[in-house]
Amino acid sequence: MASPESRIIELASRIAANTKKLNDYLVANNLPTPSFDVKGPKANLVPKQEIEVQAARAAIIDDTQELRRLVLGPREYLMSYTHNELISQQAITRFGIAHSFPVGSEASFAEIATKTGLPETNVRQVIRHAINKDIFVEPRPGVVAHNAVSRLLAEDKVIHDWVGASTDDLWQSASQTCNALTKYPGSQEPNETGFALANNTKATVYEVFSQFPERARRFGNAMRSFTEGTGFELSHVVDNFPWGDLPQDGVVVDIGGSQGFVCFALAAQFPSLSFIVQDLEPVIRAAEKQPQAIELGTDRIKFMTHDFLTEQLVHGADVYFFRWILHNWSDKYCVRILRNLIPALKQGAKIVINDNVLPKPGVMSKWQEDRLRSMDLTMTELQNSHERELEDWAELFKLADPRFEFQGGELPKSANLWVLVAEWKGE
């Protein structure tokens, strides 16, 4: 067994080897090596399908993190987390600091203060806090310029929306979550959350955002930046369920299907199937006007207002499909949503779920696992829901009705969401 002293050498050697692997790949492919220079790359440039290089990259992230913590030691490690981690990012987005001077030019603290309306003292403290986290640079005392990170905030609206929503909405909800757990112990209600306390309301996320269109737009954009990233491609759904084996003229109901983009992708590939996309009224009203919907025609795709907390009205479909729906809801509501299907189900009907599955600890890199553990907490912070392990999904179906046979599922290669299947065995 390695002694604690040799662990740091082991980590350092592994970091050196994996960094060389990453660098060699980038150089061999004429790609820029990582740099926060203002002209540096905006994102990691290693394609997801480069499994080995991606593994080296994940190992560097995990190992540098562990090395840093070990070198800090338990006391300074705990004390290195401060409640101020996100304050400069929040200030940058809240006060438009990244947009207060053009990329490629420089500005003094005083000029940024004039532009943003923030007092110069606050501008200086926020920017210097940010600079220590590699956002902006200060080429000469009191003079600020963009680097690659602040440039991204200035030029990429979606990233700016992500940081804004993350600091103004999610961070506030997170900070109130233990208060919500104290006030509403064991609650499964979506309006008894950190989000509700942070917003001083008894309303749900959806209800609050419906009153603030700009905040809703920003949150929607932020979420989209997440779900449109690599690993969320619709091809994973199209390719990883035997849609082609459904009966001729088979019917698929996409529950909470939003704009119907999953059904558009399936319709293109499986011409004998037809689709019904269900969502709340305002979503459906906008969705049915899309050119793809009109082009496919109502024989192939119908849009239908339906609240999944009420009984399912489309009887006898072959598949009832939920993508990224059930992880938003606590077990109590998921059971209700599944039971609402029962009157409509024919024997053999499939419930297909495209959603997160929590890994067992330690099976993926800490960095990747951390993203899922964080998502799990976010679900609680916003909705009193949580992410589920495979066994939790099985349990959920059992709890809803023993006539659901949970058949498990798989995580398609390079995908982030699993494809899970249950079959209705009732009459």
Ligand X SMILES: C[S@@+](CC[C@H](N)C(=O)[O-])C[C@H]1O[C@@H](n2cnc3c(N)ncnc32)[C@H](O)[C@@H]1O
Nearest CA to 88 out of 42, 149, 36 is that of 149
User: What percent of the chain is helix, strand and coil (3-state, nearest 5)?
Assistant: 50, 10, 35
Q: Which is nearer to ligand X, 62 or 233 (CB)?
A: 233
Neighbours of 134 (CB within 10 A): 12
Which residue do the tokens 């009459």 mark?
427
Q: Which stretch binds ligand X (CB under 6 A): 21-29, 267-275, 285-293, 302-310?
A: 302-310
Q: How far apart are CA 207 and CA 280, in angstroms?
A: 13
Say if CB 337 and CB 329 are below 8 A apart: yes
Q: Applying CB under 6 A, which of residues 87, 216, 280, 304 lies at the interface with ligand X?
A: 280
Q: Which is nearer to ligand X, 89 or 278 (CB)?
A: 278
Residues with Cβ within 8 Å of 122's Cβ and at least 6 positions away in sequence, in order, are 91, 113
Task: State the nearest-atom distance from the C-beta of 296 to ligand X, in Å.
Answer: 18
Neighbours of 182 (CB within 10 A): 8
Nearest CA to 53 out of 72, 26, 34, 30 is that of 26
99 is catalytic: no
Q: Which stretch binds ligand X (CB under 6 A): 69-77, 80-88, 106-114, 307-315?
A: 307-315
Q: Which stretch binds ligand X (CB under 6 A): 86-94, 139-147, 151-159, 318-326?
A: 318-326
Q: Which is nearer to ligand X, 152 or 411 (CB)?
A: 411
Task: State the nearest-atom distance from the C-beta of 336 to ligand X, in Å.
Answer: 10
Q: Which is nearer to ligand X, 194 or 260 (CB)?
A: 260
Task: State the nearest-atom distance from the C-beta of 342 to ligand X, in Å.
Answer: 17
DSSP 149-198: HHHHHHH-HHHHHHHHHIIIIIHHHHHTHHHHHHHSTT---TTSSHHHHH
Angle subtended at Cα 57 by Cα 53 and Cα 58, rounded to the nearest 5 degrees = 120
Residues with Cβ within 8 Å of 321's Cβ and at least 6 positions away in sequence, in order, are 252, 253, 254, 255, 257, 262, 351, 352, 353, 354
Which residues face 404 on adjacent strands?
424
Q: Applying CB under 6 A, which of residues 91, 196, 283, 293 lies at the interface with ligand X?
A: 283
Of residues 247-276, which lie at the interface with ligand X (CB under 6 A)?
A: 256-258
Site string for ligand X, 209-228 (x = CB under 6 A): ------------------x-
Question: In the chain, what is the straight-line distance between the N-terminal and C-terminal CA atoms, in Å?
Answer: 58
Task: State the nearest-atom distance from the C-beta of 205 to ligand X, in Å.
Answer: 10
Task: State the nearest-atom distance from the C-beta of 261 to ligand X, in Å.
Answer: 7
Tokens of 16: 């050196």
Q: Applying CB under 6 A, which of residues 162, 171, 219, 308 lies at the interface with ligand X?
A: 308
Q: What are phi and psi of 374, to 5 degrees?
A: -70, -40
Q: Which of 160, 236, 306, 327 is catalytic?
A: 327
Q: How far apart are CA 66 and CA 297, in angstroms?
A: 55
Number of chain positions touching ligand X (CB under 6 A): 14
Site string for ligand X, 328-367 (x = CB under 6 A): x---------------------------------------
Q: Which is nearer to ligand X, 36 or 324 (CB)?
A: 324
- Asked if 190 touches ligand X (CB under 6 A), the answer is no
Q: What are phi and psi of 309, to 5 degrees?
A: -85, 0
- Asked if 409 touches ligand X (CB under 6 A), the answer is no
Q: Which is nearer to ligand X, 227 or 407 (CB)?
A: 227
Q: Applying CB under 6 A, which of residues 24, 76, 281, 307 lies at the interface with ligand X?
A: 307
Q: Which stretch binds ligand X (CB under 6 A): 192-200, 320-328, 345-353, 365-373?
A: 320-328
List residues with catalytic annotation.
327
Positions that interact with ligand X (CB under 6 A): 227, 256-258, 279-280, 283, 307-309, 323-325, 328
